[in-house]
Structure 1
């Protein structure tokens, strides 16, 4: 990709566009493009968490906030919320999983037919235990899930199916899937293996999973110096390809194929049973501490009462850095993952909304927090840290809209607000974009479990109504999304050489301005709907709205 100098890119930025009336802000293709040009430049080397390139990007965003006259919203009255991360990488000795059963012993090496995780708490992990199949490994009374019933998994390794039963609502199912390790820990298991279903293997083929086999593991470190771990009792985890799965199910009362057939039915929930095999998991790792900042700004509200409530507009600033060279790669091969759309475009949208808000003659009634988060690609870590350690009281944060990878490759006519069905944010989004001729569409790809894969989910877990906004599938969107996810997504091809529709970028910025403004100016804040799963789970005392 063509390089820009940082100075030249900075000079191209629209820092002094004239202020527009609140009801009629101007958003331009050039302004959106200029931000993305800087953030996706090769000199930033993919903005990896903890890298110099990300630090440069963070300073760029902070300088934009400063130039708009916003207030710093980070630590110690500054722009940054500096986060310590524990980074764990694989030692040179490959991790392995060895299965012992009726047919003898069979070993599998990491990145072959198993993907073995690392555990910073045990840099020389060596664990052996019997195996128990636990179906999907889920528990929830509301949905009649009780996969551990009658099974003794204390001190054992559980084997779970990936995903959740067909027919379960996609967002609730995605959330429950993310709790499997905690459920296994509660029942006394010490490790967890996962096995693909027909549906999950179609959504994420093994070859796609192996592409990221050697990515380091990250977690944030608390101000007290303790690394965060949701399930410290689960000492090891691994994913299984078919040869490893067949070895584990040797002599079992049901075959892998039979289990998958049951799971492929609507409502199918294969029952668990003790396996006739055991497994030894070995993994060596090395850990270090790195730091990376969230960038936080505040636009104070204009209403003397509502200004103490905050609406958060967030976008992740980090991307995945530079891909490792592979044997036989030419020296000139492009390995920089620039992240133009993921998520330079999201940050550009947030900055343009901030510009319009700051320049409006009538400021929003509620205060607005603009959050450029770090560590999203490592597991939503920067947003999780902010939501658990907010720089304003969490009870005063009333709503969040997250911007992640708007696909600006076609003239979108609809948007998807993942999470819209759970709170009044759904109607707020729909009404806000209606004057633009834009419609709100339901989740078009529930198999991707996107609801739990973007930063807004971290606010949901703290009881805050939140949505993740993306361009929709209408007007060529379905083809564009399919091509991008199977092509340039998390690939050096996500750069400025793509046929990006910058007019769509300006339109997306306008849509998010309207949405954020509606959230900030409403007489009542966003509310969870009555009897909503997430509202009941994470905000049981919050005021509800009728659906």
Structure 2
């Protein structure tokens, strides 16, 4: 380093002043250019597909923090910082489990991968279970629907056997939810294990050999808490068809008989099964962390600022293909899934700051991890919120908007459950964008993205995707059968950047409506999710 003497300072300052160029005005970037810049970086090869717990995801999280910090938002994570570190555990089997089925006093060994498949456990390393079994129909116990397949069955200390799926006639979003809580139902009734079998006599029983080799990954806090909730300690196994038939032999009904009932549209009643199942299995664990990014834009109203409108998008993707051939592109860049949602969320944050008008309610911005691992980052935040969850008035989830065409409508999954839909309609009307019904109800998408973890805590939520109009249907079918979860999901696939900017503007308008409304959103009185999870909250007539 070269030092300047004090005597030379006046001359140096004069030279510096003389060398300064005339003031220039930097060119203003458009919303389309800003979203493109965000998406280009977040889906670049440098980030290697942003897998949960990876270095690439850490870099992506740091980028999102830098953008939010530059806008002047406040950190909303743990201990006053920008991050909430999610503690993850990956469990695999350590050795081969042993199992036997005892019927009529005789024990028959069961072979892992052939007769049954024992899964790893996240909270109990050494599993030792010796218990009887009970059949519980579809395993549904839901007071809102008035269904209890456990009626007349004592599951305490037993291994519960249930049909997969739900009875005919249950709406798809409710059916998807019921499927996700079956193991919780078993745990709540004192079961020690849970098994699902197919209700279809000609159904596929799956590969037991593959099931036993798959790791189980979820958040686990090291104190027995896990994203699997009360079901975490349960022994989880799969059976072959032959083993399942042996369980029902000598019971009130055979497996074929209860499957025939299900096929006829009836709901089989539960009953004890014959025999006792003994299983011993050991799991080994790999612990790691991955961050949620949490930021707050404080509200301006003295009363309403204590409430929050949350905007959320998942930052993770599925990483690098391990089975790629030499020379093949192995990086799953995740441009549309979900660099697009996070990038438009950043543009929404910028729009609020640029407006010069602070929202009345505070805004909570969440770039969560682990969506591709079962909505685990969102679940961890909803279980361990950094703000009081009952103060989150509404949530808008931005997950995989398909920005490949000039969209004219949006699908607002969950719009039928709360009056958030009115904010969506009002925002869309100003932009000639309509909210249309779910065109693919068979997919059960309302329970397959991060907002679902907030819905089950009573937070009215909506999940927005671009719709089927103006060529959207063809684009959706092409993407889902092609670049979805594939290395070709990158910025070079023909993204319409003007559509990206419009999606950001639409979400700004929706969030503005929700943040400035005099009343917070309400569940509709006839909504299943409002009735199931909004206990004590005021409801609206439709």
Q: TM-score higher than 0.5 here?
A: yes
Q: Contact (CA 8 Å) 2:413, 2:464: kept in 1 or not?
A: yes
Q: Could you tell me how far apart the structure 1 residues matched to 2:244 and 2:175 are?
A: 24
CA distance in structure 1 between the aligned counterparts of 2:256 and 2:471, rounded to whole angstroms: 37
- Corresponding residue number in structure 2 for 1:512: 507
**Which of 25, 32, 35 is matched with 2:35 structurally?**
32
Alignment match, 2:7:
none
**Shift in alpha-carbon separation, 1:313–1:238, aligned structure 2, 3 A:** same
Is the 1:383–1:458 contact (alpha carbons within 8 Å) kept by the matching residues of 2?
Answer: yes
Partner of 1:48: 51
TM-score between the two structures when normalised by the length of structure 1: 0.83
SS at match of 2:186: helix
Check if 1:306 corresponds to 2:308.
no
The one of 465, 471, 486 aligned to 2:460 = 465
Q: TM-score, normalised by structure 2?
A: 0.84
Q: How far does residue 477 in structure 1 lie from its aligned partner after superposition?
A: 3.8
Choose 55-64 or 421-430, whichever is displaced more.
Answer: 421-430
- 1:60 Cα shift? 0.5
| Cα deviation code 1:401-443 (max 9, x no counterpart) | 1111223344433222222212111222122213333222233
Q: Residues 416 and 128 (structure 1 numbering): CA distance in 2 closer, same or farther, change over 3 Å?
A: farther
The alignment covers a number of residue pairs equal to 516
In the TM superposition, what is the alpha-carbon distance from 1:251 to its structure 2 partner?
6.0
- Map 1:174-323; keep pairs closer than 5 Å: 174-197=176-199, 206=206, 214-221=214-221, 226-227=225-226, 229-232=228-231, 234-240=233-239, 242=241, 245-246=244-245, 248-249=247-248, 259-260=258-259, 262-264=261-263, 268-276=266-274, 278-323=276-321
Partner residue in 2 for 1:408 = 403
C-alpha distance in 2, partners of 1:512/1:184? Answer: 40
CA distance in 2, matches of 1:32, 1:478: 23
Which residue of 439, 458, 461 corresponds with 2:434?
Answer: 439
Q: Which moved more, 1:53-62 or 1:484-493?
A: 484-493
Structure 1 regions of 5+ residues with no counterpart?
A: 1-15, 20-25
515-524 vs 240-249, which moves further: 240-249
2: CA distance, partners of 1:199 / 1:341:
39
- TM-superposed CA distance for 1:97, in Å, is 6.6
Shift in Å, 1:56: 0.5
Deviation digits for residues 171-230 of structure 1 (CA, Å, limit 9, x no counterpart): 33332322212211232221111123559979xx958996996244222427x7855551
Larger Rg: 2
Provide the C-alpha distance between the structure 1 equivalents of 2:131 and 2:539, rounded to a whole number of angstroms: 47
2:424 is aligned with 1:425? no
Matching residue of 1:79: 82
1:145 equivalent in structure 2: 147
State the Cα deviation string for residues 340-395 of structure 1 (Å, max 9, x = none): 22211111111111111111132322211111011222232222222233222223
Question: Would the aligned equivalents of 1:134 and 1:158 in 2 still touch at CA under 8 Å?
Answer: yes
Equivalent position of 2:334 in the other structure: 339
Unaligned 5+ segments in structure 2 are: 1-25
Q: Distance in 1 between matches of 2:396 and 2:252?
A: 48
Shift in CA distance, 258/445, structure 1 to aligned 2, threshold 3 Å = farther
Shift in alpha-carbon separation, 1:528–1:449, aligned structure 2, 3 A:
same
Closer, same or farther: CA 332–132 of 1 in aligned 2, 3 Å? farther
For the 8 Å contact 2:100–2:107, the answer to whether it is kept is: no
Query: Secondary structure of 1:523's match?
Result: coil
Q: What residue is the counterpart of 2:10 in the other structure?
A: none
* Secondary structure in structure 1 of the residue aligned to 2:430: helix
Alignment RMSD? 3.4
In 2 relative to 1, CA 286–491 (structure 1 residues): closer, same or farther, beyond 3 Å?
A: farther
Distance 1:360 1:201 in 2: 57
